[in-house]
Structure 1
Amino acid sequence: MSEEIPPVIQALAEAVSAEFPGGLLATTSFRGNHRFHVCPKQSYAVLKYLQTRAGFAMLVELSAADYLQYPDKEDRYGIWYCLLDVDNGRRLIVKTTANDPDPKVDSVVDLWEGANWMEREVYDMYGIEFRHHPDLRRILLPDEFVGYPLRRDYPMRGKGERHNFPVLTRAEG
């Protein structure tokens, strides 16, 4: 279901492949969204290249997904970075992966400060660690929360932890 890749994205893919042999695993386009699938070990270097040398100055979104029960997925987690070249109006999604038992990728907070809370959210919900993050701790859930609720092996109804959450009234909030 992939569409034709525009020449400007194809040229960028060739430049990335030349700069990082084996770093770019695939280039796809679907519904106008262009994706680079990159090797986890080279994801930081590719993202830095895209920011500093290809004009993708803005990180619009950083998120993840758990592919535990997907039959066609070899890797447990997918992490994606939606980048924007503000000057030329180009968008690019960079996807990489992480695996159990210790899912980790490099932090990009030093490239885009806005990644700080996005990486913390992914850590909080999926347990994916971002190496070299300046303050990697929970951002949405209480510090004493055990587990990562967006993982597919986490019970849909939780583990009874809601009873321990503090109750705030409207007046207190």
Structure 2
Amino acid sequence: MAKATNTEVIDLLGEKFGEQLFDVTEPYGLLTFSTTKDKIVEVLSFLKENAKINFNFLTDITAVHYPEQGKIAVVYHLHSMVSGIRTRVKVFIDENEPTIPTASALWNSANWMERETYDFFGVKFEGHPDLRRILNMDDLGVHPMLKQYPLEDPNRVDKKDEYFGR
């Protein structure tokens, strides 16, 4: 099978989902677009099951916190080994209510990736079979990748400017 192009993928998606896909870009040749959390499972399912593009491999699920916007972006990276193409799908959710449907019914590997994203960002994947922490302590009480914590202790004396002639 010949390598698919970003244009072919976005045309197929546009026919099926139309205005439900937005912010379509191609940074460094990687097709990137956004959708809503109501449509994410349907979009991922279409990408996986469409015979023309066949995004059969879920490379990664992660998140990015945008505190100035009050949003968390859940990011999916997919790879079609058959068509030789990759894509990135983003869903922006409210940081005060970080829930999104699970993709673990589509890819078994999503189970671990969603648990990791929950552990570090606090994103709750609705319908996940076993959503719990995997890398941090169960009683940690915070999600360390959220940008709401100071990067350094402001009371450290070895970081004072006067010690460095500034």
Query: Larger deviation: 141-150 or 33-42?
Result: 33-42
Provide the residue aligned with 1:90 in structure 2.
Answer: 85
What is the TM-score of this pair, normalised by structure 1? 0.79
Cα 1:147/1:157, change in 2 over 3 Å: farther
* Paired residues for 1:1-173 under 5 Å: 8-53=5-50, 54-69=53-68, 74=69, 76-156=71-151
* TM-fit CA distance, 1:40: 2.2
User: Aligned partners of 1:75, 1:27: CA distance in 2, in Å?
Assistant: 22
Cα 1:98/1:131, change in 2 over 3 Å: same
* TM-fit CA distance, 1:45: 0.7
User: Aligned partners of 1:84, 1:75: CA distance in 2, in Å?
Assistant: 30
* TM-fit CA distance, 1:39: 2.0
Instruction: Kindly indicate whether structure 1 or structure 2 has the higher relative contact order, using CA contacts under 8 Å at least 6 residues apart.
Output: 2
Segments of 4+ in structure 1 off by > 2 A? 154-158
Q: Which amino acid aligns with 2:44?
A: L
Q: Which amino acid aligns with 2:117?
A: V
Partners of 1:13 and 1:24 within 8 A in 2: no
Structure 1 alignment gaps of length 5 or more: 1-6, 159-173
* TM-fit CA distance, 1:111: 0.6
Partners of 1:23 and 1:43 within 8 A in 2: no
Query: Larger deviation: 138-147 or 36-45?
Result: 36-45
Q: Which amino acid aligns with 2:64?
A: A
What percent identity do the matched residue pairs reach?
30
Partners of 1:125 and 1:149 within 8 A in 2: yes
User: Aligned partners of 2:91, 2:49: CA distance in 1, in Å?
Assistant: 19
SS of equivalent residue, structure 2 residue 44? helix
Aligned residues: 148
Specify the structure having the higher radius of gyration (Cα): 2
More helix per residue: 2
What is the TM-score of this pair, normalised by structure 2? 0.82
* TM-fit CA distance, 1:75: 5.3
